[in-house]
Amino acid sequence: MATVAFVAVASLSLPALPASAAPSDFMYVADSDNGVVRVVDTSTDTVVGTPITVGSTPSGVAMLPDGTKAYVANAGGGGSVSVIDTAAGTVSSTIDVGAGATGIAVTPDGSKVYVTESGGTSVSVIATATDTVSTTITVGTAPLGVAISPDGDTAYVTNSGTDNVSVISTATDTVSTTVTVGDGPDGVAVTPNGAKAYVVNNIAGTVTVINTATNTVTGGPITVGAAPTDVAILPNGSKAYVANSGDDSVSVIDTTTDTVDTTITTNIGDAPVAVMATANGEKVYTANSGDGTASVIDTATDTASPTQLAIGGAPSSGATSPSQGDTVVTFQVTPTDGLTITVPDTATLSEAAPGGTATGQLGDVTVTDERSLADASWESTVYLSEDFTTTGGSPISGDAVTYTPGAPVAQTNGPFTAGTAGDLTNPRIAYSKTSGSGNNSVTWNPTLDVEVPVAAVAGTYTGTITHSVA
């Protein structure tokens, strides 16, 4: 008979892997002259990558809350919206809308995009799930600007031809009321708390403040610079920045008192037509259509940097990346167990006469690797740890014992390699795994042949075959 021992190896743990972080700190600026959008890294204030070709005369840009898409309103060519895949930096689709697509805004939940069509009297609504127009809303004449309330319930559309603002219920996509404002309303923005909407009146040179609870004008108009076109409010709601294209200035409004706190004239480029605040509120950018630049304003000091960004062409609008909080997520993958080998307790070979061969199979030998390793390599060896002996007879050693592993009886997550047949004078490879990863298992049923010497005495011979794995 043959008795068999086994050896086990301790288990290991895999290292944790960090989660991927979402991209942030970028601004997408439309160049209406060249039909492209350029990307600015706002952490370094440099233009990066290759310009992204969009439609004719891009005039408005808005981004999904998760930053995965940028929607660009193209005023030329009959009116369209280019959808930019921000990860790839390419246009994934183009959506036809009405003539003169100008203003564009995304709902806070990212489900809808509202596009003003200055060539007529309508606003197109795009469903972002399919990037198709779901409905068209009739508003005033020559709509330009659009902004969505923070709760997503209301859209405010400035109608430059009728000097009013259409208030749209986003639940029904219908106009609920109309508010009269100043002459030539253009840009519009809503405070982060949703209490006020600031409307820039281009011809009047003023800003109208709407109480959103009552949809009525509160106080008198705020006088700003010449030909104001756009307004942006800081994320904390403390200030509103107005781009004055007629005198190359930016008016800074204190939203608590609704008065102009300061006017920035130094280092503002030619004809600023759009203004954008970063998600952290530390910077405000102007798009200067007259000289192809962007001015960078430090909101802590309300001063513009002497160095302006060279955008090129005629920057007409832009959108900064949404606020994104990066959370590094860690998890531990633990092994089920270690690396083990199981063998039969006993095995009996065939009878043999002196000078003959005793033969037979040991039974199933199984290696189970549950360490969950990236490199799941192991090697199983076999040797005759105790010679075959009987009372009164000479020992039969390993040079007379041939071990043949044979083909796998069962296997999971191979490949596995069987060792070559040979004697057990020294330990030899029974089975091995030299490539692959993760948990795995293999079973084989080896054959043992023992050459019985001519001088052997009669009796029952017992030895020990030992398998190990490491």
CB atoms within 10 A of CB 94: 14
Residue 331 is predicted with a pLDDT of: 67
Residues of the chain under the 50 pLDDT cut: 1-23
The pair of structure tokens assigned to 270 is 């030619």
Quote the mean pLDDT of the chain. Answer: 92
Q: Residue 106 corresponds to which amino acid?
A: V
DSSP for 151-172 reads TSSEEEEEETTTTEEEEEETTT
* Cα separation, 8 vs 375, whole angstroms: 18
pLDDT at 144: 98
Query: Which amino acid appears at position 354 of this protein?
Result: P
Q: What is the pLDDT of residues 375-404, one digit of tens each?
A: 999 999 999 999 999 999 999 999 999 999
Burial string for 108-136 (b: 16+ CB within 10 Å, else e) reads eebbbbbbbbbbbbbbbbbebeebebeeb
Can you tell me the distance from the alpha carbon of 182 to that of 210, in angstroms, rounded to the nearest whole number? 12
Q: How far apart are CA 319 and CA 310, in angstroms?
A: 17
Strands (E) across 202-323 are located at: 206-211, 216-217, 222-223, 228-233, 239-244, 249-254, 259-264, 272-277, 283-288, 293-298, 303-304, 309-310, 315-320
pLDDT at 24: 56
pLDDT for 37: 97
Residue 101 sits at the vertex; the CA angle it makes with 100 and 105, to the nearest 5 degrees, is 155
Q: Cα 167 vs. chain centroid, distance in angstroms? A: 35
Write the pLDDT tens digit of every residue in 233-259: 999 999 999 999 999 999 999 999 999
Q: Is the pTM of this model over 0.75?
A: no
